[in-house]
Amino acid sequence: MKAVITVIGKDAVGILAKVSTECAKYNANITEVTQSVIDNIFAMIMMIDISKLNIDFAQMAEELSKKGEEEWGLKVFVMHEDIFNCMHHI
């Protein structure tokens, strides 16, 4: 089972470090990372394996989004891969 973490916001030092530290905390294995500027949005997209999480996935998603907004000033979306697969693949 995989999920996608998308981080959108202003570039700064250590975003990747912060997000990956959180992933390690929850035992989420990062399988892929890309950073790009699309449609004038700076975005980092991370694929994570969530099959061995030590926390409920919904709770992890909530914690990360909250941390992003309140501590880092970034928009962090943690979404199960199924929503992208169903929307964009027949």
Partner 1 sequence: MINEYDILETIRMIQDDCLDIRTITMGISLLDCIDPDIDKACKKVYDKITLKAKDLVKVGEQIEKEYGIPIINKRISVTPIAIISAACKCSPVPFAKAMDEAAKAVGVNLIGGYTALVQKGFSEGDMELINSIPEALACTERVCSSVNIGSTKAGINLDACGVMGRIVKECAEATVDNACFGAAKLVVFCNSVEDNPFMAGAYHGVGMPDCLINVGVSGPGVVRAAISKYPDADITKIADVIKEISYKITRVGQLVGMTASKRLGVPFGIVDLSLAPTPAVGDSVAHILEEMGLEVCGTHGTTACLAMLNDAVKKGGVMACSRIGGLSGAFIPVSEDAGMIDAATAGVLTIEKLEAMTAVCSVGLDMIVVPGDTEPDTISAIIADEAAIGMVNTKTTAVRIIPAIGMKEGDVLDWGGLFGKGPVMPLHKESASKFIHRGGQIPAPMQSLKN
Nearer to partner 1, 45 or 72 (CB): 45
Q: Which bin fits 10, alpha (ψ -120 to 50), beta or left (φ > 0)? A: beta
C-beta of 54: minimal distance to partner 1 in Å? 16
- For residue 15 the two structure tokens come to 């975003």
Helix spans in 1-80 (H): 15-25, 57-67
Nearer to partner 1, 72 or 77 (CB): 77
Between residue 37 and residue 76, which ones bind partner 1 under the rule CB under 8 A?
A: 38-39, 41, 43, 45, 47, 57-59, 61-62, 75
